[in-house]
Amino acid sequence: MSRERVEEVDFAVDEHIWGHRLYDEQLPHLALLEFLGILRAKSTAPLRQDADGRVRYRPSWQITLRALLFNNPNLDAIRLRRDADADKWKAWEESFKKDAGDLAVGGLGHLRETFLSFEDFAKAVALLRSSAYEANSNKRWSSKFVFPYGPDALYEDIRVKADGSASNDRRFFGRTGELLYLMLCRSSRAAELGPLLVSRLFNPTTPLNRLARAMQGQTQPAPNERTSGYLPHTSLPRFDRLAEDWLAILSRDMPAGDAVDHLVVSAGLNLLLYFLERGKAAAGDTDPVEFLCEVVSRDRSKVRALSADSWQSNQAVSLRAVRAFVESAKAAPEWGAALVAADPSAACAGVLRDLFQWPPEEKEIGTAPERLVSLLAEAAEKRHGQHFGKIHSIWSRAVGLSSRRLSRRMRYAPNDRLLKTLVVTVVEGRMEYGEFLREIHRRYGIVVGEAEGSALVRENVVDQEDLSNNRARLESRLLGLGLLRRLSDACSFVENPFWRGAA
């Protein structure tokens, strides 16, 4: 039993459970941007992987564009001067070149052709900045991203060194977007979804894509091709779910920019579920993943404590998975054979090496087989804690599923943005509220009301009344968001304002 080799790692444990790799610091919007960069490169044959289960693509850099937006500190000061237009352009070019160096290929001459005045140019820069991600954060400028208006506004995360040279690094594009791409390639709806994504999101004629293209001037591709990371599973219901959710979002009657926002949340939520589901599977836990959510109320309730417990227990899943996964080696038939080999220590090391790329040759010679397993498990647990182990905590917060609001403990308490995405994704036209709760439980394990939490009520963990109050609070919240219509106390309908055909 030999597994695919994963490059760039000392041993492969997390990678065989989840892939290489999911990366905690790559928040869902960054995963989507990485994904879109691949899609752009593959737009003529979208969502098709290579025969070896990888995808090879050449991203873009668009250094002129991003430098204009994020490494252009003197623009405003120069705009405000009482100088002639030509003088402003001149002064600005000098200052900009000092900051941006020679990375902006093809010079800046095209800008004067594009804009009638320096003032117009400055306005255009401010416009694109206003919707950019984290434009005002203290991230390095080469890790800031313009909103994905279209194919010309996409580029990969890079590092620019002091000497002015640039290279891609994996600080924020940590391959999560690559895995997202592979998941959708492997979903049963890939053939439909790929072209739909391209037509809906890569319309080159949308005004702001044209503006971005004009500011960039000549397109700047990355110097070489990338090969995607590794995704161990060839198919999973979660991949299909993700694809279906995206198909639903893209079919709604809303501006493309809004659809992007919902895709981000949907990707984040499904990736989080993938992470927990695979973790549970590796740990041999067959219970489905559930998120018991408190719909935030001012009064402290039993549900708040339970949602914090629910968070805690999900947080523990992945670490348990790592140990169980390493120890599962001992159940493999090869392991049994190795134990009775002439040199059990070397034979068992060989088995582990096949499974986990560890121990390295020449190392750990003569270590007892049991000890080898526990050494690896310890090392794997330690490494897991650095990034993989933080995924649940960071992503569940990033998608708006968990929060610390009104509480010291982290718990599941969905925010308005997530609720909106759920309604937009799940509801075709209108749907009875109870059915909606059933559906978000079935799809995402979200527990709000007493029907979905009936197991908890049976085990006397919580009163039915607490959960039905929780359910009523969500109802009022959806009403406030304009997403629900109430017929009477016992009957209401969730409505999707973006349903095609809605007046």
Partner 1 sequence: MPNETTAGVASPPALTWVRFLRNYGPLSTNGNLFDEHVAKALARAKVRPISLPPPRLAEMEAFFTDGIGGSILVAGTAGDGKTYHCRSLWERLGGASATWAGGVPLKRLPFRGREVVFVKDLSELGETEGDEVLEGLERSAAGDDSVSFVVAANHGQILDRLRTRGRRLGMDSPLRDPIQSAFLDPGSSYPRLGVFDLSRGADRRAMESVIAAVADHPEWERCAGCPLDSADRRCPISENRARMLGREDGGLFVRRLGDIVELSRLNGEHLPVRDLLALAANALLGHPAAREGLMTCADVAGIQHRGDADRASVYRNVFGVNLTKKSLSKYPVFRTLSSFGVGEETANGIDGLLVYGSDDSRLSEAFGRLVASDPLYGASAGFLAAQRRYLEGEEGARDGDGDDSFRDRLSDQRRRLFFTLPGDAGESYPFWGLTSFAHAGEYLALVEAVENRRSVDEKTRSAAVRGLNRVMTGLLLENADKIFVSGGGGASGSRVGSLCETEIPARRTGGVGMAIRADSKTGKPCLDVCVAPGSQPVLLDLTPVRFEFLCRVASGALPGSFSNECLEDLLAFKARLLRQAEAARATPEPEGGEPAEGDGTLGLSFIEINDRDGQGAVRRVSVRVGA
Residue numbers at the binding site for partner 1 (CB under 8 A): 113-116, 120, 123-124, 127-128, 130-131, 147, 149, 207-208, 210-211, 213-214, 253-258, 260-261, 416-417, 420, 430, 432, 434, 477, 479-483, 485-491, 493, 497-498, 503
| 371, two tokens | 């000890």
> Looking at beta carbons only, is 24 or 466 nearer to partner 1?
466
> Looking at beta carbons only, is 255 or 360 nearer to partner 1?
255
Minimal distance, residue 108 CB to partner 1, in Å: 15
Minimal distance, residue 441 CB to partner 1, in Å: 17
> Looking at beta carbons only, is 24 or 475 nearer to partner 1?
475
Q: Which helix (H) or strand (E) holds 69?
A: helix 63-70
Minimal distance, residue 359 CB to partner 1, in Å: 49
> Looking at beta carbons only, is 94 or 465 nearer to partner 1?
465
> Looking at beta carbons only, is 13 or 198 nearer to partner 1?
198
> Looking at beta carbons only, is 86 or 481 nearer to partner 1?
481
**DSSP 8-state secondary structure symbol assigned to residue 360:** P
Task: Assign 3-class secondary structure to 147-189.
Answer: CCCCHHHCCCCEEECCCCCEEECCCCCCCHHHHHHHHHHCCCC
Would strands 291-292 and 446-447 be described as parallel, antiparallel, or unpaired?
parallel
Minimal distance, residue 478 CB to partner 1, in Å: 9
Burial class (CB in 10 A: 0-12, 13-18, 19+), 142: buried
Q: Are 17 and 328 in contact (CB under 8 A)?
A: no
Handedness of CA 426, 428, 433, 438 (dihedral sign): negative
Q: Are 263 and 284 in contact (CB under 8 A)?
A: no
Tell me how many degrees the CA angle 374-377-380 measures, rounded to the nearest 5.
150
Dist CA 355 CA 351 (whole Å): 6
Q: Which helix (H) or strand (E) holds 438?
A: helix 433-444
> Looking at beta carbons only, is 87 or 465 nearer to partner 1?
465
Q: Are 326 and 381 in contact (CB under 8 A)?
A: no
Burial class (CB in 10 A: 0-12, 13-18, 19+), 390: middle
* Among candidate residues 324, 496, 312, the one with its CA nearest the CA of residue 420: 496
Minimal distance, residue 498 CB to partner 1, in Å: 7
Identity of the residue numbered 30: L
Q: What is the DSSP string of 244-303?
A: HHHHHHHTSSS-HHHHHHHHHHHHHHHHHHHHHHHHHHHHT--SPP-EE-----SS--HH
In a 13 Å sphere around the CA of 47, the CA atoms on its Cβ side amount to 19
Minimal distance, residue 433 CB to partner 1, in Å: 9
**Look-up of token digits 């219509």:** 485
Minimal distance, residue 406 CB to partner 1, in Å: 14
Minimal distance, residue 413 CB to partner 1, in Å: 14
Minimal distance, residue 416 CB to partner 1, in Å: 5
Letter string b/e over residues 153-180, b meaning 16 or more CB atoms within 10 A of that residue's CB: bbbbbbebeeeeebebeebbbbbbbbbb
Helical packing angle, 317-327 and 256-283, nearest 10°: 50
> Looking at beta carbons only, is 256 or 346 nearer to partner 1?
256
> Looking at beta carbons only, is 166 or 214 nearer to partner 1?
214
Minimal distance, residue 461 CB to partner 1, in Å: 23
> Looking at beta carbons only, is 22 or 424 nearer to partner 1?
424
Q: Are 272 and 392 in contact (CB under 8 A)?
A: yes
Minimal distance, residue 133 CB to partner 1, in Å: 9
Minimal distance, residue 107 CB to partner 1, in Å: 16
> Looking at beta carbons only, is 406 or 479 nearer to partner 1?
479
